[in-house]
Amino acid sequence: MTTRPPAVPVVAAGPITLRRATPSDAPAILTWRREPSAARYQPLKDRSLDALREELAEALDRPLDASFTGSARFIIVCGEADAGWLTIQRVDRDDQDAGIGYTVTERYRGRGIASSAVRVAIALAFGPLDLGRLAAVSAVDNVASRRVLERNGFRFEGIARGLLIIRGERVDHATYGLLATDVRPPIETMEDRD
């Protein structure tokens, strides 16, 4: 296995940083995906440990710059502890846009970690990735996640009825968008709680 240089510029919000997820993170990600709070709001598909490791390894081969396409997974790091994961997904170079999704593990919820991690991802998306727009969705009743988006300057765009299937049921989702030109909170702050 070759040693790769750090794949993310140093971008942080308070004690929160994002690091590229590696194949060695696969067991933790699978464990976190099984937490009831993650399963409640996310359309998580079953993946084997080997399949996830392969997916993470493949993504690491692509630098996070203005040529990046596809999806990049990150581990949310709070101080020295891994606190969840975040994905910048479906990066489209033609339209210069992508989606963002995130989950903070149950142990680290309610500390402002998701808000800060999203701020870091925004800086990455509108900086090195050179995107013009980020989109996000949140289950209508996932008030905490919707607050995270709104605190970070995402604008509510509407309700997508039955957008995703979660635990066998179609679930309505609030849709949000953020343009690189929109006003948003400075990255250095972490006073919000989610």
Q: Tell me, yes or no, whether 146 lies in a domain.
A: no
Contact between residue 154 and residue 179 where contact means Cβ atoms under 8 Å apart: no
3-state secondary structure 58-116: HHHCCCCCCCCCEEEEEEEEECCEEEEEEEEEEEECCCCEEEEEEEECHHHCCCCHHHH
Q: What is the mean predicted confidence (pLDDT) over 166-188?
A: 89
Number of domains in the chain: 1
Model pLDDT for residues 72-124, shown as the tens digit of each residue: 999 999 988 999 999 999 999 999 999 999 999 999 999 999 999 999 999 99
Return the CATH number at 68.
Answer: 3.40.630.30
The domain in which residue 55 lies consists of: 12-134
In this predicted structure, the answer to whether residue 188 has a pLDDT above a threshold of 60 is no
Model pLDDT for residues 4-32, shown as the tens digit of each residue: 434 454 456 678 999 999 999 999 999 99
In this predicted structure, the answer to whether residue 130 has a pLDDT above a threshold of 50 is yes
Q: Tell me, yes or no, whether 83 lies in a domain.
A: yes
Q: What is the pLDDT of residue 170?
A: 96
Q: Give the predicted TM-score (pTM) of the model.
A: 0.87
Tokens 């989950």 sit on residue = 103
Question: Under the phi-then-psi rule, with left for phi > 0, alpha for psi from -120 to 50, and beta for the rest, what region is 50?
Answer: alpha
Q: Tell me, yes or no, whether 115 lies in a domain.
A: yes
